[in-house]
Amino acid sequence: MDTSFSGSEDKPIAMLVDDDAKVREAMSNLLNSVGIETISFSSAREVLEAKLPDRPSCFVLDVRMPGLSGLDLQRHLQTNGIETPIVFLTGHGDIAMSVEAMKAGAVDFLTKPVRDQTFLDAVSNAIATDIARREATLTARKHAADYETLTQRERQVLRSVVGGALNKQIAFELGISEITVKLHRSNMMKKMHANSITQLFTAWQSLPESVRRGDE
């Protein structure tokens, strides 16, 4: 494993996987030249045995390598719940391979030789995808934590509000007064840190499906 990174938790990094040391070095030098840090692996097995950096990142995978192939590694990563975006860069690609990789979630499939700018754009787009995914995950966790602070009645009001019910309808459904509904609704909005129905609906949509189904 070759490294060229500072260890900063928020700085993006590209994880390069290729059995050719010269290819790994060339990719690393190119990415480093534009400020993207790298960590390199000579095999898919080496990736699976490593402690991967927890920071915005992407994989750049060769398809054909001794032992596990790049496509095999993609499947292993998915099985292990690793959602880091993948860019395939290979000299042995064909249409069937590219279709398989893209169907499995790869963000790009490049065939060597590839222009430097095309490669840099693909890696940058993959890292941007990972940054957006991480931000969405953090936001969802925050909304889930907010939801846990709600009382059972506030959760009932939340479900009715996002379902489009008016205060009068909610009061009838729950068998309480409209004034009480307004109080629960106000408290619920504050706890969910929502200033509008749109914000509340966005928070609701980010909650686990089991919560939205009412399985809790």
Q: Where are the domains of the chain?
A: 13-138, 150-213
Answer whether 13-138 and 150-213 agree in fold: no
pLDDT at position 2, please? 63
Torsion-angle region of residue 67: left (phi > 0), alpha (psi -120 to 50) or beta? Answer: left
pTM (2 d.p.): 0.80
Alpha-carbon Rg for the chain, nearest whole angstrom, is 23
Tokens matching residue 108: 């790009």
Query: Please, which residues bridge with residue 14 across strands?
Result: 38, 58
Measured distance CA(79)–CA(73) in Å, rounded: 10
Residue the block writes with tokens 């500072």? 6
- pLDDT reading at 158 higher than 90: yes
Superfamily for the 13-138 domain: Response regulator (3.40.50.2300)
The third-level CATH classification (topology) of the domain covering 150-213 is: Arc Repressor Mutant, subunit A (1.10.10)
- If we measure between CA atoms, which residue out of 29, 28, 33, 34 comes closest to residue 60? 28
Give 4's strand partners.
Answer: 38
Mode of pairing for the β-strands spanning 2-4 and 37-41: antiparallel
Query: What percentage of the chain carries pLDDT values higher than 70?
Result: 94
Instruction: List pLDDT tens digits, range 30-60.
Output: 999 999 999 999 999 999 999 999 999 999 9
